[in-house]
Amino acid sequence: MARKRDRSFEILVKEHERALRAFVRGCSYDKAAADDVVQETFVIAWRKLKQYDERIPFARWLRGIAINQVHAHDRKEAIRSKHIRFLTREQIGAVADEFDRLVPGRGDVSTDTLEALRACLDALPANDREVVRRVYEGGQACKIVADELGSTAIAIRQRLRRARLRLRDCILGKLRMEITHA
The model's pLDDT over 107-137, given as tens digits with 9 standing for 90+, comes to: 455 667 777 888 899 999 999 999 998 988 8
Q: Average pLDDT for residues 137-148, to the nearest whole number? A: 90
Domains and CATH numbers, the chain: 2-101 (1.10.1740.10), 109-181 (1.10.10.10)
Whether 69 contacts 145, CB under 8 Å: no
- In angstroms, rounded to a whole number, what is the distance separating the alpha carbons of residues 180 and 182? 6
Q: At residue 126, what are phi and psi to the nearest 5 degrees? A: -55, -40
pLDDT for 34: 86
**Of 59, 68, 48, nearest in space to 15 by CA:** 59
Does the pTM surpass 0.85? The reply is no
- In angstroms, rounded to a whole number, what is the distance separating the alpha carbons of residues 148 and 118? 25
Cα distances (angstroms) measured from residue 57 to each of 13, 28, 77: 14, 23, 30
| 93-102 pLDDT tens trace | 777 776 666 6
Lowest mean pLDDT among 20-24, 130-134, 152-156, 158-162: 20-24
